[in-house]
Chains A and B, each alone.
Chain A
């Protein structure tokens, strides 16, 4: 086949900033016509920001977008569609309650001359599209009854209806079986033959090497490498993705790790995770690394009692632990700081003081009446210890900066005098200085005798802070590694299912 070298899409010096974070910086991205272009990078490298810019969800702060050599501004999702850009998102942008044909034609229904929807024509066209893709799906099935592979096919059909020239696929194979993956590959190759350009996002490097023509690697919002796939290999790609230097300072205190405190044995929950075996020792920081959606959060929520598990056993300080609800966990000295700090961690419209005291109100009351003095003592003690910057005590929690909000949530849990703290992405979305404050504080906590489980998608954080790291992939533990005896390449490889 003759490969056309004509540039379909060019991004020039695109930058996007969020408060305290450079999501993208001077990113150049060139997509050729009928080419499959891999967009690679770790979690948080800037891939989804780039996709959102192409879809018109975000506006770039700097830089320009050229389509067919013409400059365009993609102001909203509609104009992105009109320009022929269609995305198959990881998260559901489908309508579960509506039929397959309607999902394909949504926003673009075929209408008759009298302006009424032409269901007959839509059904016919849908059958045609689906049989071209060799998919065994009925046009009137509801989306919620389809498998993930079938949903992808519906999304692909949707982009064909929109006559999109550029199809973005965000981890389309993440939840597919081997056979479904093969089928998807042949669909993708077919699209390429029809002169489409495809941006293919995946963490599975083998499949990238197999199916893609070109690649761009992002790291910390910058382009690290961009070339033809034929000029690279797996090792180089892994180094490109993971090989960043540990730029932040991780003030890890040296502590002596003591005896085992928590043991998790054969934890299993249907469709979520299986064979979860690990232990946690006193004064240890245990990391949990994996791709977003690999099941880390689900395991922790189960240990904390928010979700129930189907099988398994928890042992806490040599006695069997029964946790039916978060209350049991808290009473046993296990607390969980959610990744969704603002939704699940605090009550934004309550004061900082009340947030700190939220979990110990029964301890601080006598005969059902709250002891305000105890409240204030506890709050000010922790505020000082954690250095939470508040202007006055009744300040509402939502008006604090991200870092101070996180400290408030930590203070809330410290009030309960826990022995194990589970931190889910503790430094996500907070600025560098607060980040290192949180890290420093983690060191102090283990020094004072606590144990920490930290879920993180940032490799340097895992390598800098943890003693051991558990790597998860699709609901399974791939390995538990001693951080001092491993490399970032090994961890990234395991997390991608190697």
Chain B
């Protein structure tokens, strides 16, 4: 079965390569290194958020508030940067992460301690965090010329002709890979999602893990808050609206089971890359914008059908034949 899972990642990888080649035939410009590098840059935030969402999905929950969290953290640091333009960019990044983590912990506490179901909690905070942006910004935008040079310094930095954004995604990938595969914390997340009752028997504190998972999800939403506003040089009430659904789709396409306990960091990353590829490739091959949403949706459904087909659980054996 382990081979099969490896295969699943391999299949996904092949589909991505195959997709790039096909699109390349239709539009040779798309496969130029600079365009591919743009696709990677464009997908970086999705990769980061999918990996952090994966942690939450692993324990049989979901975080719908990530996009609102991202937008709120982004708006708060943007407003701050217009008032204190001289502050160093690291300050803004750290602050954005702290705000995001705080918002994530609120989710976790509501679910673990107050026992509000995760779907209700994060649906609620989705609106609350989004609503707070109107409150702090008076509904106004922060435009590109209002950001300080400091604030935007890092985002245009390139190394080996890959963007800063993509390097951050690679770093997050490595951190997540180690966290989920090589720490007790990560392995316990898998056991908690795989069999919550059994996890209790081995002494795993469910509440602690719920809060930590949401804190991590919030942390990366905060990080992406900075990345998003810096990249597009705009902070508004509308940024990243609906993006949580793209993130969840990336996880599902990447083979993260919504039943919990199943999924790999590599698979999740590939899922995000595939979604990113589709979003970038469809316009490149002149498929009407009207079709794009429907095609993305169909691909997600196919991924889910494949997942459920391979996940069917067996009857308990009573009779030995």
Contact = CB atoms under 8 A, between A and B. Distances in A.
Interface of A: 55, 57, 76-78, 81, 92-99, 102, 106-109, 111, 115-117, 119, 140-142, 144-145, 148, 175, 177, 270-274, 293-295, 298, 474-476
Given A98-B194, A141-B2, 10 more contacts: A81-B203, A96-B195, A107-B188, A107-B202, A107-B204, A175-B320, A177-B320, A271-B315, A271-B321, A272-B319
Contacts of B183: 115-117
Contact of A92 (B2, B195, B200): B195
A68 to B, nearest CB: 21
Given A93-B198, A111-B184, A142-B2, A98 B318 contact: no
A107 B318 contact: no
A81 B184 contact: no
Given A97-B261, A116-B183, A273-B318, A78 B203 contact: yes
Interface string B246-280: 00000000000000011000000000000000000
B280 to A, nearest CB: 33
A94 B194 CA distance: 9
A273 B319 contact: yes
Contacts of A475: 318-319
Given A98-B194, A117-B187, A77 B318 contact: no
B190 A98 contact: yes
A109 B1 contact: no
Contacts of A116: 178, 182-183
Interface in B42-91: none
Contacts of A474: 318-320
- Most chain B Cβ neighbours within 10 Å, of A117, A141, A148, A298: A117
A271 B318 contact: yes
A95 B194 CA distance: 6
Given A117-B182, A144-B1, A295 B319 contact: yes
A97 B260 CA distance: 10
Contact of B195 (A57, A95, A145, A272): A95
Contacts of A97: 190, 194, 261-262
B149 interface: no
Contacts of B197: 93
A190 B181 CA distance: 34
Nearest to A108: B202
B187 A102 contact: yes
Nearest to A99: B2
Contacts of A106: 187-188, 191, 202
Interface string B6-40: 00000000000000000000000000000000000
Given A77-B200, A81-B202, A116-B182, A95 B318 contact: no
Contacts of B191: 95, 98, 102, 106-107
Nearest to B261: A97
Contacts of B201: 55, 57, 77, 93
11 contacts: A81-B202, A93-B198, A96-B195, A98-B190, A98-B194, A102-B187, A107-B191, A107-B199, A116-B182, A119-B182, A293-B318
A119 B182 CA distance: 8
Nearest to B1: A142
A294 B1 CA distance: 30
Contacts of A177: 320
Contacts of B195: 92-96
Interface in B154-202: 178, 181-184, 187-188, 190-191, 194-195, 197-202
Interface in B223-243: none
Which 5 pairs show the lowest CB-CB distances between chains A and B?
A: A475-B319, A78-B203, A107-B202, A93-B198, A95-B194
B288 interface: no
Contacts of B289: none
B203 A95 contact: no
Nearest to B195: A95
B308 interface: no
Given A76-B203, A81-B202, A274 B2 contact: no
B49 to A, nearest CB: 24
B265 to A, nearest CB: 14
A81, A106, A271, A476, most chain B CB atoms within 10 A: A106
Given A78-B203, A145-B1, A94 B318 contact: no
Contact of A77 (B178, B202, B319, B320): B202
Interface string B277-321: 000000000000000000000000000000000000001111111
* Most chain A beta-carbon neighbours within 10 Å: one of B181, B195, B199, B321: B195
A15 B200 CA distance: 24
Given A76-B203, A274-B319, A474-B320, A96 B182 contact: no
B204 A272 contact: no
A142 B187 CA distance: 15
A272 B317 CA distance: 6
Contacts of A272: 315, 318-319
A472 to B, nearest CB: 9
B203 A109 contact: no
B286 to A, nearest CB: 42
Contacts of A98: 190-191, 194, 261
Contacts of B315: 271-272
A414 B152 CA distance: 73
A117 B184 contact: yes
Nearest to B201: A77
A106 B261 CA distance: 14
B179 to A, nearest CB: 10
